[in-house]
């Protein structure tokens, strides 16, 4: 049996296998299991329904943010269209569930696959384009998908929206925050596990090579286009999966939320969490969701203060302002994001009292 | 036929507006290769400054116009100094996201101060500026737009060809390191290009405000419509921005007139995807060739 080991004081890795280890120490793994146990067996039974709702939103956002991190943080392709891909997933699930009557356990992965195909179509320009041109192409994708969702009345019911049946497996109906909590977080754990492992594989290394220097990568024999497209596919699959979960969770969906603002929100999660860092994406999703909730609460309070209400000031735009400010401050002050802050805090505990 | 001609004229007018809105965007891209997602908000800021000066401070139109231009010049300078300068040499995504964050900040700020209502400027263009060709009528605003865009195009042409600052800007755009080693003050060039871009943006914001009324959401969505325009024209060509603007304007009005009004707003983006696949550097853009 392995012994529990602490952080070594230098880099003592001798084999490639050690380099690929997910957990640097056994303590890391232990703490993760403790955390997961708390999350699954304690959290849903203790906290209030409102907190559970926030947790669920965080879970869905985290799946979407991990996905975008694979594309932006690891492959270096910036996409402004993931809000729309999320919407494609939500609609695909809704249509599969209402028209074809598929169960959620088929509809959600199928929605992911459909979104992956759509995402790969918009990834095709990446064969010729890079950097900002690709960003603009995905921006166009965002608007085109939004338009199709609104205008394709016969399939999406346009602005009316679609109401989904509650997901059911055997005779057990998933309804309410608590049972959704398990659905969402089991998916999140599986998706995170998959993402972490894909980054360790040949594919992940190819992604990183393309990010760091695409010309060198091609020179070394990595078929860039194939891998870029694959990265688009994987990330759209995640987006569609998250969208489908969201559609089931929200019960009824309209085209409204899937706008450019949502795409920007996801990128903000990736940047604030830390690019090229899977736990970072989860931190980012948590931060942005909590910030959103807090600002909603705060502006609500401000609106009810009689002095401010009597000025006739509308405090709702404050949300937008603070959101923008958070992005700007993170980029200027800590571009590596929350993951880096977390690393600094951890290592300062480890190194104390010698700060080097 | 008459319908066609009217659409044609409308298309050119709308296109010119897109063109001059895109000019400031191209300016920034040309000197510092920054994609400015906050461009629509810069337009809106200019339009709202002008609105406050004209209606609240009751200044004469000309004075208000000059003050707005000066204010936005300084604003552009400050934006570069405090937000963009720390990011020189950083990754593309940080720069893009910074401008996205700035866009959200400005939009929130404008909404906080002025609210989301639609405002209109008091009437100040003389009706004699309207042009009548047979059955086709060009409103005074549009002829003023035409005049302004021609004047600015000529001014910018001269600025980039003749003045020392303009030549510095072109040199920085071409090769930052070479320009630096030849003694060009690159940071000053960046600051100046942001300031000029903000100035141009505020001017086009005012023109747009005269035509469509001043509303944050409309103006900031124009900031996104700039993308098809500049991609079509070539990201680093100011003349291309005007021509791209006219083509996109025509496309929009013709699809709006003949096909369906709802398609009007997406058609530029559909065209955008095609251009990107066929001719990514646009009509007049500089082609960068990379080989492995």
CA angle A134, A137, A143 (to 5 degrees): 145
CB contact under 8 A, A332 and B87: yes
Of the residues B90, B101, B270, the best mutation for testing chain A's interface (the one with the most A CB atoms within 10 Å of its CB) is B101
Q: Are A115 and A240 in contact (CB under 8 A)?
A: yes
Name the residue with higher pLDDT: A98 or A154: A98
Residue A341 touches partner B, C-beta closer than 8 Å: no
Higher pLDDT, A120 or B131: A120
Size of interface A-B (CB pairs under 8 A): 132
Residues with Cβ within 8 Å of residue B277, at least 6 apart in sequence:
A124, A125, A128
For residue B238, the surrounding DSSP H or E stretch is helix B238-254
Nearest to A335 among B94, B109, B231 (CB): B94
pLDDT at residue A329 tops 60: yes
Largest CA distance in chain B: 62
**Torsion angles phi and psi, residue B115, rounded to 5:** 80, 175
Give A187's contacts (C-beta < 8 A, 6+ positions apart): A59, A63, A108, A241, A245
Q: State whether A264 and B90 contact (CB < 8 Å).
A: no
Q: Give the closest of A132, A322, A327 to B97, CB-based.
A: A327
Interchain CB contact of A215 with B (< 8 Å): yes
A143: which chain B residues are within 8 Å (Cβ-Cβ)?
265-266, 269
Which residues from chain A sit within 8 angstroms of residue B105, using beta carbons?
320-321, 324-325, 328
Q: Answer whether A223 touches B (CB < 8 Å).
A: no
Residue A2 has pLDDT above 60, yes or no: no
Running DSSP on this structure, what letter comes out for residue B123?
A: P
Q: What is the pLDDT of residue B74?
A: 92
What fold, for A48-351?
A: ABC transporter involved in vitamin B12 uptake, BtuC (1.10.3470)
Residue in B22, B24, B16, B20 with CA at minimum distance from that of residue B246 = B16
Q: What is the mean pLDDT of chain B?
A: 82
Lowest mean pLDDT among A77-86, A161-170, A173-182, B37-46: A161-170
Q: What is the 3-state secondary structure (H, E, C) of chain A?
A: CCCCCCCCCCCCCCCHHHHCCCCCCHHHHHHHHHHHHHHHHHHHHHCCHHHHHHHHHHHHHHHHHHHHHHHHHHCCCCCCCHHHHHHHHHHHHHHHHHHCCCCHHHHHHHHHHHHHHHHHHHHHHHHCCCCHHHHHHHHHHHHHHHHHHHHCHHHHCHHHCEECCCCEECCEECCHHHHHHHHHHHHHHHHHHHHHHHHHCHHHHHHHHHHHCHHHHHHCCCCHHHHHHHHHHHHHHHHHHHHHHHHHHHCEECCCCCCHHHHHHHHHHHHHHCCCCHHHHHHHHHHHHHHHHHHHHHHHHHHHCHHHHHHCCCCCHHHHHHHHHHHHHHHHHCCCHHHHHHHHHHHHHHHCCCCC
Predicted confidence at residue A1, as pLDDT, reads 42
Q: How many CB atoms lie within 10 A of CB B178?
A: 11
For chain B, percent of residues with pLDDT exceeding 90: 1
- In this complex, is the C-beta atom of A129 within 8 Å of any C-beta atom belonging to chain B? yes
Q: How far is A327 from chain B (nearest CA, A)?
A: 5
- DSSP of B156-221: HHHHHHHSHHHHHHHHHHH-HHHHHHTT--HHHHHHHHHHHHHHHHHHHHHHHHHHH-B-HHHHHH
Say how far apart CA A81 and CA A85 lie, in whole Å: 6
**Domain coordinates of chain A in residue numbers?**
48-351
For residue A263, is pLDDT > 80? yes
| Residue B49 token pair | 């400054």
What DSSP state is assigned to residue B119? B
Contact assessment for residue A257 and residue A136, using Cβ atoms and an 8 Å cutoff = no
- Is B231 close to A218, i.e. CB distance below 8 A? no
Give residue A80's pLDDT.
84
- A103-107, A167-171, A190-194, B192-196: segment of lowest average pLDDT: A167-171
Tell me which DSSP letter residue B103 carries. H
Q: Would you state the pLDDT for residue A173?
A: 66
Q: Hey, is the C-beta of A137 within 8 angstroms of any chain B C-beta?
A: yes
**Confidence class for position B292, pLDDT limits 50, 70, 90:** low
| A264 reaches B (C-beta below 8 A) | yes
pLDDT digits (tens, 9 = 90+) for B144-178: 777 877 887 788 888 888 888 888 888 887 777 88
pTM of the model: 0.84
Kindly report, residue by residue over B81-100, the tens digit of the pLDDT: 888 888 877 777 788 888 88
Residue B111's pLDDT is what?
85
Q: How far apart are CA A205 and CA A193, in angstroms?
A: 17
Distance CA A212, CA A194 (A): 23
A322 chain-B contacts, CB cut-off 8 A: 108
CB-CB neighbors (< 8 A) of A140 in chain B: 227-228, 269-270, 272-273, 276
**ipTM attached to this prediction:** 0.82
Q: Considering only CB atoms, which chain A residues are within 8 Å of B234?
A: none
Residue of B nearest to A315 (CA): B112
- B98–A332 CB contact, under 8 Å: yes
Whether residues A317 and B112 touch (CB distance < 8 A) is answered with yes
pLDDT value of residue B290 = 62
**3 state DSSP class of B291:** coil
Look at B98 and A324 and tell me if their CB atoms are within 8 Å: no
Q: What is the CB neighbour count within 10 angstroms for residue B10?
A: 21
Contact B36/B99 with Cβ under 8 angstroms? yes
Mutate which: B93, B115, B272, vs A, most A CBs within 10 A: B93
pLDDT in tens, B7-59: 888 788 888 888 888 888 888 887 777 888 888 888 889 888 888 888 887 78
Sign of the CA dihedral running B87, B89, B91, B95: positive
Q: Which residues of B touch A136 (CB under 8 A)?
A: 35, 227, 231, 272, 276
The position carrying tokens 């009689």 is: A306
Query: Do residue A317 and residue B35 have CB atoms under 8 angstroms apart?
Result: no
Which DSSP string do the residues of B19-87 spell out, in sequence order?
Answer: HHHHHHHHHHHHHH----TTHHHHHHHHHHHHHIIIIIS---HHHHHHHHHHHHHHHHHHHIIIIIGGG
């Amino acid at each position: 049996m392995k012994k529990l080991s602490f952080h070594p004081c230098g880099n003592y890795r001798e084999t490639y296998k050690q380099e690929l280890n997910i957990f640097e120490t056994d303590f890391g793994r232990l703490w993760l299991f403790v955390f997961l146990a708390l999350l699954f067996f304690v959290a849903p039974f203790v906290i209030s329904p409102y907190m559970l709702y926030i947790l669920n939103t965080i879970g869905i956002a985290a799946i979407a943010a991990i996905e975008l991190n694979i594309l932006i943080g690891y492959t270096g392709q910036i996409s402004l269209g993931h809000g729309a891909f999320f919407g494609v997933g939500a609609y695909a699930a809704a249509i599969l569930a209402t028209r074809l009557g598929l169960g959620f356990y088929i509809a959600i992965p199928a929605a992911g696959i459909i979104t992956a195909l759509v995402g790969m179509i918009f990834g095709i320009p990446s064969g010729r384009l890079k950097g900002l041109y690709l960003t603009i192409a995905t921006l166009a994708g965002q608007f085109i998908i939004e338009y199709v969702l609104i205008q394709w009345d016969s399939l999406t019911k346009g602005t009316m929206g679609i109401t989904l049946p509650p997901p059911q497996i055997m005779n057990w109906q998933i309804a309410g925050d608590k049972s959704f909590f398990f659905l969402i977080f089991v998916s999140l754990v599986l998706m995170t596990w998959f993402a972490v492992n894909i980054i360790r594989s040949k594919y992940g290394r190819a992604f990183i090579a393309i990010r760091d220097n695409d010309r060198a990568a091609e020179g070394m024999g990595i078929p860039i286009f194939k891998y870029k497209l694959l990265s688009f596919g994987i990330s759209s699959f995640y987006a569609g999966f998250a969208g489908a979960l969201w559609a089931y969770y929200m019960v009824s969906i309209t085209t409204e939320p899937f706008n450019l603002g949502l795409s920007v929100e996801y990128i903000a999660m990736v940047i604030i969490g830390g690019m090229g860092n899977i736990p970072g994406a989860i931190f980012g999703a948590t931060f942005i969701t909590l910030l959103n909730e807090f600002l909603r609460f705060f502006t609500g309070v401000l609106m009810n203060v009689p002095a401010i209400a009597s000025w006739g000031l509308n405090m709702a735009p404050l949300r937008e302002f603070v959101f923008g400010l958070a992005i700007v401050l993170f980029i200027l002050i800590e571009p590596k994001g929350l993951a880096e802050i977390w690393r600094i805090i951890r290592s300062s505990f480890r190194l104390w009292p010698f700060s080097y | 036929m008459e319908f066609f001609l009217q659409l044609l004229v409308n298309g050119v007018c709308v296109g010119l507006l897109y063109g001059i809105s895109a000019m400031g965007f191209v300016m920034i891209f040309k000197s510092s290769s920054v994609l400015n997602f906050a461009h629509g908000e810069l337009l809106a800021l200019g339009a709202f400054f002008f609105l406050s000066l004209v209606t609240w401070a009751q200044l004469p139109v000309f004075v208000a116009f000059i003050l707005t231009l000066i204010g936005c010049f300084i604003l552009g300078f400050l934006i570069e100094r405090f937000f963009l300068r720390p990011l020189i040499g950083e990754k593309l995504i940080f720069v893009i996201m910074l401008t996205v964050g700035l866009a959200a900040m400005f939009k929130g700020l404008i909404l906080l101060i002025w609210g989301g209502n639609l405002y209109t400027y008091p009437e100040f263009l003389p009706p004699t500026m309207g042009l009548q060709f047979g059955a086709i009528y060009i409103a005074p605003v549009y002829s003023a737009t035409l005049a302004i865009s021609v004047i600015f195009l000529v001014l910018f042409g001269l600025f980039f060809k003749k003045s020392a600052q303009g030549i510095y800007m072109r040199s920085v755009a071409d090769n930052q390191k070479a320009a630096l080693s030849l003694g060009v003050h690159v940071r000053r060039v960046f600051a100046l290009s942001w300031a000029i871009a903000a100035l141009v943006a505020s001017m086009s914001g005012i023109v747009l405000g005269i035509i469509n009324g001043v509303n944050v959401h409309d103006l900031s969505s124009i900031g996104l419509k700039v993308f098809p325009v500049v991609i079509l024209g070539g990201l680093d060509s100011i003349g291309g921005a005007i021509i791209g603007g006219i083509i996109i304007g025509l496309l929009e009005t013709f699809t709006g007139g003949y096909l369906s009004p709802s398609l009007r707003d997406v058609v530029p983006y559909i065209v955008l995807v095609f251009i990107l696949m066929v001719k990514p550097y646009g009509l007049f853009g500089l082609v960068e060739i990379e080989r492995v």
